[in-house]
Chains A and B, each alone.
Chain A
Amino acid sequence: MTEVRISHLTKSFGAGPVVDALSLTIGHGEFVSLLGPSGCGKTTTLRMIAGFEDADSGVIAFDGSDVSRVPAEKRDIGMVFQNYALFPHMTVAQNLAFGLEMRKIPAAEIRTRIARVLDMVQLGTMTERYPSQLSGGQQQRVALARAIVIEPRILLLDEPLANLDAKLREEMRVFIRDIQRRVGITTVYVTHDQAEALSMSDRVVVMFGGRIAQTGAPADIYDRPATRQVAGFVGQVNVIEGVVETASGEGGHVRLPFGTIEAPRIGAATPGARVALALRPEAVSLVPPAGAGWQGRVVSRHYGGNLVDYRVAMADGTVIHAQTFPTTQFEPGAEVGVHADAARLWPLGD
């Protein structure tokens, strides 16, 4: 197992920096996701860890030794590429043997290690197939097997599930995480898919514009986003602005454009201060209009199977996004009572 320490890593292509003074430590055996929109620098960061790009400045260290000037082939990493990058002229077995041959492993051991890893990815019978004879999901598993069969210090995955269909993608999330746990390898996973990052990672690093916006456990990122940008990128969110009326400890009474609410956490705000509160759609429930809560009118409804998506116009015109279980449903145009779970309100920084 290996600890990766990145400090003040910077890289520019022409105009502005793509990665801007990024510092991050990834612990032994930890699974860390770099999450962000395209162009946020996550893939460039990964390629610098792999050694495919040289940093303009900053240091990358594996277990305390600086590898910034070590070429990719000497870094002892395993990498899974978005398009799998399997060698089309080699069979599955030859693809897997490649890295072991580079390490001068004896032929007999190569055979046993390939058999063991293929067993792990449930492709034991596919050794003599060429990549073009495999399905996308099978190619993906071969790519993963090829990366871990060399028993690298670090596993790097660059959007590995982006080319799979939705169902397979969810299966592979569990599969990859399971194998990573069994092998116990330090892993960096690049994705723009927040569901992947949240479901697989020990820790999520949200990046915007080459900088880290927030680092934390998946629940931290989702329930306690640091900024509007993070809140908006990781899942769906209502951002409601209000004015603090009374504050007591962590919480306080906040006046919103369409009502008031007693929130247990409003940040360290004094009466009269403006606050922005994040409210996840699933923390909003709709009740018949006679019930408690704010009053609103359903603007639209989208049925999603396990959840129903509503847009509700409040008295002042603010539109609140709500997701509820489909047990009770409201027609578009219906008057409803809107109830927010105050415990799920979270104050956002800028």
Chain B
Amino acid sequence: MATGKRRSATLLLIAPAALVLLVFLVIPYVNIVIMSFRPPGEGAPYGVGFTLANYRKFFSDSFYMLQVLNTLWIGFVVTLSCLLIGFPVAWQLARGESRLRPLYYSIVLAPLLVGIVIRSYGWTVLLGNNGVINRTLMGWGVTDGPLPLMYNGLGICIALTHVLLPFMVLPIMSAIQGIDPSLEAAARSLGASRAVAFRRVLLPLARPGIQTGSILVFVLAISAYVTPALIGGLRVKTMAVTVVDALIDTFQWPFGSALALVLSVVGATCVIVFARLTRMRWKVA
């Protein structure tokens, strides 16, 4: 009786969130899945009947496969560079004793406070052939012509790393804040140098934060649209850009749906494999 009451209270508490998810995520998703099996239509989003043609088109054209690999590669590079740049920052924010810590914290959060279009446009100003970086380098005589910083994968990675850095820093910071500082002292009292204490004690304990941050950044990087669209231009396209092209520009709703689903499945598979590989066997009290 008591547990029955508790169960209905639980249901009541999660109902609003479940309803939002159902209406705005599950139903549209189901719609996309159905649409991906429809033939293209004339003057309508899709025609009548069902077909595998959209998926056949995707898997028979290496152009799309290469694009998936390219998108995953960008996701991987962005995740790795966010991790390498973000970890020391997270460490400093969690353990630093500087009075300027609130300032550093707001600097880390700053990219989130500027609209994504403005931010990406800012990068085009910096990275373009006639941009600040290239003009400065040419002005100093370091290079003769402009370096290819934009309209390629490099530019997309630079801009996405900047945009997504807070999503790496914040989870790692909170993981490090949860590590008892006396653990490092304990490791050193047992004969471990600072480096060994870091590798054997602090890094494994920061792993939940690293895992969360990496998954967040990876998922956001492979599904990013605005930044790759503005920085990559017409030459380099990620899957998200191609999906939008198919939907908006060429009005191929069924094919676009198939592309979007492939991207989702590939992304989800990567996350599951990553989470499995970095799974933890212990739990903190």
State whether B283 touches A73 (Cβ < 8 A).
no
Task: Say if the beta carbon of B27 comes within 8 Å of chain A.
Answer: no
Contacts of B205 in A (CB 8 A): 88-89
Contact A88 B188 (CB under 8 A): no
Q: A130-B282, A130-B283 are in contact. Are A81 and B196 (CB under 8 A)?
A: no
Interface positions, chain B 5-41, Cβ under 8 Å from A, are: none
The CA of A217 and the CA of B46, in the complex, are separated in Å by: 93
Interface pair A81/B191, CB less than 8 Å apart: no
Which one of A77, A82, A85, A132 contacts B283 once the chains associate, using CB atoms below 8 Å?
A132
Q: Which of B180, B186, B282 contacts A79 (CB 8 A)?
A: B186
Question: Inside 8 A of A130's CB, which chain B residues have their CB?
Answer: 282-283
Top 10 A-B pairs ranked by shortest CB distance? Answer: A99-B190, A132-B285, A102-B191, A85-B186, A79-B189, A85-B182, A72-B188, A73-B188, A89-B282, A81-B182
- Residue from A81, A82, A87, A99 whose CB has the most chain B CB atoms within 10 Å: A87
A102 touches B192 (CB 8 A): yes
Q: How large is the interface on B (under 10, 10 to 19, 20 to 34, 35 or more residues)?
A: 20 to 34
Looking at the assembled complex, report how far the CB atom of B103 sits from the nearest CB atom of chain A, in whole angstroms: 22
- The answer to whether B284 touches A77 (Cβ under 8 A) is no
Q: Judge if A50 is at the interface, Cβ distance under 8 Å.
A: yes
Say how far A82's CB is from chain B's closest CB, in angstroms. Answer: 8
Flag if A72 contacts B285 (CB, 8 Å).
Answer: no
B152-179 interface code vs A (CB 8 A; 1 in, 0 out): 0000000000000000000000000000
**Distance of A132 Cα from B186 Cα, bound (Å):** 17
18 CB < 8 A contacts A-B:
A50-B189, A51-B188, A71-B193, A73-B191, A78-B189, A81-B182, A81-B185, A85-B180, A85-B183, A85-B186, A88-B285, A98-B190, A98-B200, A99-B191, A102-B192, A102-B196, A103-B191, A150-B191
A73 to chain B, nearest CB (A): 5
Docked pose: A77 CA to B190 CA in angstroms: 7
Which of A52, A82, A99, A131 contacts B285, CB < 8 Å?
A131
Q: How far is the CA of A78 from the CA of B190 in the complex (A)?
A: 7
- B112 at interface (Cβ–Cβ under 8 A)? no
* B187 CB within 8 Å of chain A: yes
The yes or no answer to B247 lying at the interface (CB within 8 A) is no
**Complex-state Cα separation, A102 to B180, whole angstroms:** 21
Q: Are B180 and A52 in contact (CB under 8 A)?
A: no
List residues 258-285 of chain B with CB under 8 A from any CB of chain A.
Answer: 280, 282-285
A265 within 8 A of B: no
A321 contacts the other chain (Cβ, under 8 Å)? no
A87's closest neighbor in chain B, by CB? B201
Q: Which residue of chain B has the shortest Cβ distance to A143 in the bound complex?
A: B186
Chain B residues closer than 8 Å to A86, beta-carbon distance: 186
Which residue of the partner chain B has the closest CB to A103? B191
- Interface of chain B, main secondary structure: helix
Q: How many Å lie between the Cα of A131 and that of B205 in the bound state? A: 14
Q: Are A98 and B189 in contact (CB-based, < 8 A)?
A: no
B183, closest chain A residue (CB): A85
A-side interface size class: 20 to 34
CA distance A156 to B280 in the complex (A): 32
Provide the bound-state CA to CA distance between A131 and B282, in Å.
10
By a CB distance below 8 angstroms, the chain A residues around B196 are 102
Closest approach, in angstroms, between the C-beta of A319 and any C-beta of chain B? Answer: 43
**Closest partner residue, chain B, to A147 (CB atom):** B189
Tell yes or no: B88 within 8 A of A by CB. Answer: no
Residue of A nearest to B179 (CB): A88
Cα–Cα distance between A146 and B183 once the two chains are bound (Å): 13
Instruction: From B189, B200, B282, name the one whose CB has the most chain A CB atoms within 10 angstroms.
Output: B189
Complex: chain B residue closest to A98, CB-CB: B190
Instruction: Please measure, in the bound complex, the distance between the C-alpha atom of A53 and the C-alpha atom of B160, giving whole angstroms.
Output: 42
Q: How far is the CB of B193 from chain A (nearest CB, A)?
A: 6
Determine whether the beta carbon of B189 is less than 8 Å from that of A132: no
Instruction: Produce 1/0 per residue, A150-191, CB < 8 A to B.
Output: 100000100000000000000000000000000000000000
A52-B185, A72-B185, A98-B187 known; A83+B180 contact, CB < 8 A: yes
A325-336: contact bitstring with B at CB < 8 Å (1 yes, 0 no)?
000000000000
In the bound complex, do residue A73 and residue B192 qualify as a contact, i.e. CB atoms below 8 Å apart? yes
User: Given contacts A89-B205, A98-B200, could you give 16 more A-B pairs where the C-beta distance is less than 8 Å?
Assistant: A72-B185, A72-B188, A73-B191, A73-B193, A76-B191, A78-B189, A79-B185, A79-B186, A85-B180, A87-B201, A88-B284, A89-B280, A89-B282, A98-B190, A130-B282, A131-B285
Question: A245-275 CB contact bits vs B (8 Å, 1 = yes)?
Answer: 0000000000000000000000000000000
Specify which chain A residues have a CB less than 8 angstroms from the CB of B185 in the assembled complex: 50, 52, 72, 79, 81, 85
Bound complex: CA A130 to CA B205 (Å): 14
Given contacts A83-B180, A85-B180, contact A102 B189 (CB under 8 A): no
* A103 to B200 Cα, complex, angstroms: 15
Q: Which chain A residues border B285 with CB–CB below 8 Å?
A: 88, 131-132
Q: How far is the CA of A249 from the CA of B57 in the complex (A)?
A: 113
Give B217 Cβ to nearest chain A Cβ, in Å: 24
